[in-house]
Chains A and B, each alone.
Chain A
């Protein structure tokens, strides 16, 4: 394994996510270019960008699924190069592709994810009741996941990613393809998590969802082209909505 060039020590402070010049190349193609981020604990941090901007690649590096090509970073205080196992214990992640098993029942999905996170049987049982109950799905516990509406599935998937009570949650386009009503429900859940002190790192390409975030970064062709709270960005670019801000940034 090769290590990132670490010229100077940097202060990661108490940031939930901190990166410095994080970069990922696939062959000669650079998917993520010198990304610098500092996400506070308890923050809802939005990661905006069009298709192919590099959001998923960046998130995968932060979750310990991909090694960076260069640069450095910490998640929950652990180094992305050397401590991916510790990172994995402290984060929850919902991949962009749908992350539950369609041919398992809702209850079986919860039990499986509880199992791979090493929870004991008693805890799994409790959490299963709690989770299905909170989503109003207790009566559907024995139904196959494929028979449920996507909105429910996504909220259950979020619940599964939270079974081991992680401090930081990475959500990769959790609301893609979900109807507006279900999207609002989902964002309510995200806010509840933030209220409990969890850090939420969420990607989306719905610009209106940026308004739900404390801060957003806008990614374009692997680079972060703007970073700040939605209000400050609208103010800075003198636009009425984040969608207009985005168009302005991408068109230049």
Chain B
């Protein structure tokens, strides 16, 4: 046991003196989060708004004129059914719809708390968020022009992502990406580097057991990955206002499981590769691409071609995304996430057993 500590300490010294590792560990997560968070903030120029005016009153016309008078909206009068709106959104012929009920004028006269219904095409969450803000502003102006305190509010109902922030989508994905990169890529490179330079042989000739070497090599990266998780969650919560509905303890437990699965993948790679460059390439191919493309991070899994969808079952991030989104946004509890937890645990065990065996025989020739 006491032989594990020198290995851990040494690994931390390596990390602290290696510029590239420090960048990957500290700078990368922060930069990635802020890049995604702010650079994606696109400019909204022209909002095509369908208007279903069931009221046909002077009051409703007045509100509609507020929109058509602004630079941002193109008003498209529409008298179809609400079901047809979906098709129009899908064809990208409109970005939003304003629905004014038949009793709009009466309600407005009776109570200032009248509600208007707004539908926003949220396939681009950033755009949807911006549209919602603009629309809100226009309605506030209308209210003030009528000398009222806020007389009615829009109350969009979007399940699980009520304010339509894209941070909700990219934070879990980035968390998965950063954790798996640190755990799998850095660990495998750190082990293969010692094989390449010959120091692994020097350690193996000491009475240290292979399992002690493995533990000593992976513990520092568990700690680093965990620190990054804390950084990511804090930025998500305090900078991007991603809410946290579920249990923090459960998220940490599941994240540790995901880190463990990723480390097992890194160990597995280190038993296959003999050179650092090879390990790095293998780790990138095994982590970066699948995590971005095949986990549901960038593209919904349902949009993948069938063979890739089958392949995605082998991508740990696929399960972790369900877990982290489920806990943060929906407040899922453990039993609801059991299939994902079991999938990650199963992968970790298989990879760990295979690589622990291989780790030994590999060094015996």
Q: Which residues of A contact B (CB under 8 A)?
A: 26, 60, 63-67, 85, 88-89, 91, 93-104, 108, 111-118
**Which one of B2-10, B135-143, B301-309, B341-349 is at the A interface?**
B2-10
Chain B, 127-150, contact with A by CB distance < 8 Å: what is the 0/1 string? 000000000000000000000000
Partner of B205 from the list A26, A95, A102, A103 (CB cut-off 8 Å) is A95
Known: A88-B207, A117-B207. A93 touches B202 (CB 8 A): yes
Contact among A66, A91, A94, A113 for B365, CB-based, below 8 A: A66
Name 26 interchain pairs, CB-CB below 8 A, sorted by A.
Answer: A26-B365, A65-B201, A65-B205, A67-B365, A85-B207, A88-B206, A95-B198, A95-B202, A95-B205, A96-B198, A97-B198, A97-B201, A99-B198, A99-B202, A101-B14, A103-B17, A103-B18, A108-B10, A113-B202, A113-B206, A115-B3, A116-B7, A116-B203, A116-B206, A117-B207, A118-B3
Whether the Cβ atoms of A112 and B6 lie closer than 8 Å is: yes
Which residues of the partner chain A approach B335 to less than 8 Å between Cβ atoms? none
> Is B208's CB within 8 Å of the partner chain A?
yes
Whether A118 touches B17, Cβ cut-off 8 Å, given contacts A95-B198, A111-B6, is no
Would you call B13 and A108 a contact (CB within 8 A)?
yes
Which B-chain residue is minimally distant from A86 (CB atoms)?
Answer: B207
Q: Which residues of B contact A (CB under 8 A)?
A: 2-3, 5-7, 9-10, 13-14, 17-18, 197-199, 201-208, 363-365
Per the bound structure, the CA–CA distance linking A102 and B194 in Å amounts to 11
**Which chain B positions have C-beta within 8 A of A108?**
10, 13
A108 to B17, CA, bound (A): 13
Structural contact, B201 and A95, CB atoms closer than 8 A: yes
**Is the CB–CB distance between A65 and B3 below 8 Å?**
no
CA distance A149 to B331 in the complex (A): 60
Q: A94-B202, A116-B203, A118-B3 are in contact. List 14 more A-B contacts (CB 8 A).
A: A67-B364, A85-B207, A93-B205, A95-B198, A97-B198, A97-B201, A99-B199, A100-B199, A104-B14, A112-B6, A112-B9, A115-B7, A116-B7, A116-B208
- Chain A: minimal CB distance from B192 (Å): 14
Residues of chain B contacted by A99 (CB below 8 angstroms): 198-199, 201-202
User: Closest CB of chain A to B243's CB: distance in Å?
Assistant: 43
Nearest CB of chain A from residue B201's CB, rounded to whole Å: 5
User: Which A residues are CB-close (under 8 A) to B364?
Assistant: 65-67
Decide: B6 and A115 in contact? CB cutoff 8 A. Answer: yes
Q: Which residue of A64, A65, A97, A113 contacts B197 across the interface (Cβ within 8 Å)? A: A97
Q: Which residue of A lies closest to B202 (CB)?
A: A99
A94 to chain B, nearest CB (A): 8
| Chain B residues within an 8 Å CB radius of A65 | 201, 204-205, 363-364
In the complex, A108→B202 CA distance in Å? Answer: 15
- Nearest residue (CB) in B for A111 is B6
Interface contact A116-B6, CB-CB below 8 Å: yes
Task: Tell me which residues across on chain B come within 8 A of A98, comparing CB atoms.
Answer: 197-198
Nearest-CB distance from A28 to chain B (Å)? 14
Give A6 Cβ to nearest chain B Cβ, in Å. Answer: 21
Q: What's the nearest-Cβ distance from chain B to residue A54, in Å?
A: 13
Whole-angstrom CA separation of A89 from B3 in the bound complex: 14
Q: Please, how many angstroms separate the alpha-carbon atoms of A111 and B203 in the complex?
A: 13
The 10 closest A-B pairs by CB, nearest first: A115-B6, A97-B198, A99-B202, A93-B205, A116-B206, A95-B201, A88-B207, A103-B17, A112-B10, A116-B208
Q: Which residue of A lies closest to B213 (CB)?
A: A116
Structural contact, B3 and A116, CB atoms closer than 8 A: yes
Contacts of A112 on B, CB cut-off 8 Å? 6-7, 9-10
Does B14 contact A103, Cβ atoms closer than 8 Å?
yes
- How many angstroms from the CA of A94 to the CA of B203 in the assembled complex? 10
